[in-house]
Structure 1
């Protein structure tokens, strides 16, 4: 069967500045929380590999953008690093950063690759974290200024903007589960950070629309459907609560302008409501997005609690439900994640039915694999047929959703080339293009990259 996608469909991939640029202490850039944390606790980073060099995009961007064209990209998302553009978080703009991002944007356009620009990818400038991060009004306003600065500098050419990538992740990882700096475990502070992030997002949307630059602004959310173990009422309730906390906490305010009533009641009942003003709620309500980016990797499966948590333990979302490992599920053994393709269809239909059929695109989807060198063929490139199969099987479900009226406008893979990741360094590789760290960051297109070119040029595939 031939799966053909709509005309002008976005085929491309996604990355981020802090995971690809490198040059962490070059040309005026100042530390983000990652640079700082690595100096304090390098043992918390896989194999002790920190964020200093990553994939060398800062120096090899021309080669990389040519490879984007070679692998069929008509669009590509990366991010502007706040700590590079405005090194102190507020105040002076770094002219060397402006020059770098101008060169990247101009090169993409010259190669026929539409730039999608994200403004925040987990990379809080350390100077801003010291002021309280998104718990701080000063930092919320500084972020809005950073966003408006980007629009004014680059908005004549960049017409697809995104305020945050996966804003729930810094909330979970930094303020609940001790996975990212600042390593806080405090649900009330996590809620305040989430609210502050939502308000910062809304202020950026307001600034963008106020400039009337003839583009679109959105946000990138990692939507993870919550599937109940069974149709038992307690399991259904568990799935509803997980969905409120991990999906709808951001999805509802950015698309509908309001937080879910059930979530507000839950926070009120447990005395976790954030500090806010009525003006904040108006700002959020009046500044909804134009387009939604959806990152999807794996489902969340939950069941009713088996045992009640210790009364003195700090509250975490799992006090309301248990995670559930479905027997005989399909797994990516390298990442420890379930592969469940139908969820991408369920997300699309949910947006169609419950979020005004908001225009959206798949902004990340991908498969991380360890030890890809084992799959190198006699021609010297990696024969990653498993990645091709992964993409195809997800696209089949996405195609079904589009055929049923879902307003999906594109598919971006994570990621273009192998990149550094926050906790795993280079352990799991996701790229269409291999990066050889032992050979001056040499780039080699994988089998998936060659196939992706065909996918994009034919606007679909046979299966």
Structure 2
């Protein structure tokens, strides 16, 4: 066994409520439900979240399949739009309480640790329409109320919580790059939303700490870390990568783990006239409510260089891109289905960065994976998808992760995105990620070759 992992290492996978459950018995709409209802053509093959992978109805069978391929842990999310009947009072929907209780109990009875996330890009649309969503500090307070309800209801059994999944993607998708509803481009709002999300996470952590139910539990956050590598060692390229790192990675990582924003970031925002509105009480709250552990999603690195053409702010308004340009590294390896660079070495760099600059906080790989289009063409004569490319991808990333652990990084688990092919926002089911394939027309689920391979890895705690 060349690569042995630490004792009690988590082996499993992650999904989310809006991407797996379907909208069965759900009374409220998230921003994605609303966007699909109003503009179905924006989604690949016009497939929306209404059924997804039917987890609402099939979770018992799904957990059995996950157990059969060696999972000892599993992450999903609670949907704010499913659980809460009245967002102002945080009154709950009885059916949702039943459903999440059954999911948690079933997960545990299959020998898996449940990891519950509170927000996975699924803001209730009425909170956007009424208050501007994450632009509003009232919504921050409503989120803390919702978090408290979750801890009250489920904290006796769920001992691993996360506040947000990939909060920077909310900022990028909704306010900069137009791939999440409301698809606006407004750098100043983006900066305020970044601050408010950090505040919302801290307020949820404050609720967690006050709650008797959470004794023996831990709370973290899931961040997608995309290390920003400079094109060269020139002063200009290094400055570009420093700002890109601060904006895309450290703007959430530093407050979550260290309790403060990266040095110099607020000064840039202030100089540019886009600084967030904040108070010293809020900053104190962020300082006092740090995470217990970190979930790290890693898919691809960021490659940047100095800006070679000045950003025309008269057309775009302020954007973080003012300080860097993206750069395609010559000779890079690419997943052709997503055009994402494959760079497993970054897994080691992340491990060492957390060890050296973030107090070696306990962390785990909460997502990693490879989306592939047209996987059905890789079926063997028995109908199994032979996804050797996924096995190779995961193996390489685990090798570099193992190297980081050997050198002292405090990593306690690895989760693939995702257990069962799931609905993926605008991409719907275009790219498949799971260890288990889903036939959309029949909802029949079948283990892929990678699932059987993973069972061996989990059982041997290494490979």
Q: Of 277, 295, 298, which residue of structure 2 is paired with 1:296? A: 298
Indicate the residue corresponding to 2:261 in structure 1. Answer: 259
Query: How big is each residue's C-alpha offset from its partner over 1:418-454, in whole Å with a ceiling of 9 and x where there is no partner?
Result: 0010110101000000000122x10100000011111
Distance in 2 of aligned mates of 1:311 and 1:192? 18
Moved more, 225-234 or 47-56: 47-56
Indicate the residue corresponding to 1:127 in structure 2. Answer: 126
Q: How does 1:420-435 map to 2 (within 5 A)?
A: 420-435=423-438
CA contact (8 A) 1:229 1:301 kept: yes
Indicate the residue corresponding to 1:10 in structure 2. Answer: 10
Q: Of 369, 375, 385, which residue of structure 2 is paired with 1:366? A: 369
Alignment of 1:416 with 2:419, yes or no, is: yes
Give the deviation of 1:27 after TM superposition. 2.4
CA contact (8 A) 1:89 1:127 kept: no
Query: How big is each residue's C-alpha offset from its partner over 1:199-235, in whole Å with a ceiling of 9 and x where there is no partner?
Result: 1100000110111422000000000000000101111
Secondary structure class of the residue paired with 2:276: coil
Distance in 1 of aligned mates of 2:391 and 2:88? 43
Structure 1 runs of 4+ aligned residues shifted over 6 Å read none
Q: Could you tell me the TM-score, scaled by structure 1's length?
A: 0.98
Q: Of 308, 314, 338, which residue of structure 1 is paired with 2:310? A: 308
Give the deviation of 1:311 after TM superposition. 3.9
Q: How does 1:326-405 map to 2 (within 5 A)?
A: 326-405=329-408
Query: How big is each residue's C-alpha offset from its partner over 1:303-347, in whole Å with a ceiling of 9 and x where there is no partner?
Result: 111111224122222221110101111110011100000001001
Give the deviation of 1:28 after TM superposition. 4.3
Alignment RMSD: 1.0
Indicate the residue corresponding to 1:282 in structure 2. Answer: 284
Q: How does 1:158-307 map to 2 (within 5 A)?
A: 158-212=158-212, 213=214, 214-307=216-309
Distance in 1 of aligned mates of 2:313 and 2:258? 36
Q: How does 1:136-151 map to 2 (within 5 A)?
A: 136-151=136-151
Distance in 1 of aligned mates of 2:17 and 2:254? 27
Distance in 1 of aligned mates of 2:97 and 2:16? 17
Query: How big is each residue's C-alpha offset from its partner over 1:8-28, in whole Å with a ceiling of 9 and x where there is no partner?
Result: 000000000000000x1x324
Query: How big is each residue's C-alpha offset from its partner over 1:340-392, in whole Å with a ceiling of 9 and x where there is no partner?
Result: 00001001100000000010000000000011011100111101011011000
5+ unaligned residues in a row in structure 2: which ranges? none
Distance in 1 of aligned mates of 2:325 and 2:319? 11
Q: How does 1:28-107 map to 2 (within 5 A)?
A: 28-91=26-89, 92-107=91-106
CA contact (8 A) 1:90 1:146 kept: no
Give the deviation of 1:88 after TM superposition. 3.8
Secondary structure class of the residue paired with 1:378: coil
Give the deviation of 1:34 after TM superposition. 0.9
Distance in 2 of aligned mates of 1:331 and 1:283? 42
Distance in 2 of aligned mates of 1:261 and 1:7? 37
Distance in 2 of aligned mates of 1:231 and 1:137? 41
